[in-house]
Structure 1
Amino acid sequence: MVYTVKILPIALKDLRNEKIWYQEQSENIGEEFKKEIYQEIDYISKNPNHFQLKYQSIRQALVKPFPYAIFYFIDEERARIVLVGILHVKRNPKIIQKRIK
């Protein structure tokens, strides 16, 4: 079963900010970053239980080759994935914990 995906506004802000940062480094890499994020989101929608639990019901999917993680939870009742953040792996994961409280 393929789940629908809801990206919370804060996660969209994460994506926009990181894409802008990469575009400042190199124009093409910003688009490549966005493409890799959306490919990983597509994979998550098809295999939501594939990734490990990080905090309560929050799961983490790593985005290769970029050092980023997509944080999400599964809303089984609505058959959807809810993205709560896209963060650099060196950032404090407690940021995500605060977002879901």
Structure 2
Amino acid sequence: MIYTSEARLELNEAGAYYRRISKELAQEFKQRLVAALEAIRRNPETWRRLDEKYRRKLLKQFPYGVIYHQPEADCIEVVAVMHLNREPDYWRGRIG
């Protein structure tokens, strides 16, 4: 699995936000994120299609979604770890 630099930054910012609230909440966020990424890795075509190329997997118990696509059979690219209360299509400016 590969991440765009923007997705990596969002992931780090979300983790830092939850760490400021509590270590336990940050750990729970990390566990939910890892579970979502593992589910994507196992079954990338399962989650909601946003268009012909991109999909979104929601995190349980947190207002975040992982936006990704599969450019090759053995590769998944995460383009956003988006807070669901943001403008929904902001991440589209990142793609070519």
Q: What TM-score, normalized by structure 2, do the two folds share?
A: 0.92
Tell me the equivalent position of 1:45: 41
Equivalent pairs, count:
96
For 1:1-101, what aligned pairs fall within 5 Å after superposition? 5-77=1-73, 79-101=74-96
The DSSP-based 3-state class of the residue aligned with 1:38 is helix
Paired with 2:28 and 2:36, the residues of 1 have a C-alpha distance of 12
Identity %: 26
| Structure 1 gaps, min length 5 | none
Whole-Å Cα distance in 2 between the matches of residues 55 and 16 of structure 1?
26
State the shift of 1:37 in Å.
Answer: 0.5
Q: Which has the higher helix share?
A: 1
Q: After TM superposition, give the deviation of residue 56 of structure 1 in Å.
A: 3.9
Secondary structure of 1:50's aligned partner: coil
Contact kept in structure 2, 1:6 and 1:82, CA below 8 Å: yes
Root-mean-square deviation (Å): 1.2
SS in 2 for 1:48: coil
Alpha-carbon contact 1:55-1:97 (below 8 Å) kept: no
The residue identity in structure 2 corresponding to 1:95 is Y
How far off is 1:76 after superposition? Answer: 2.6
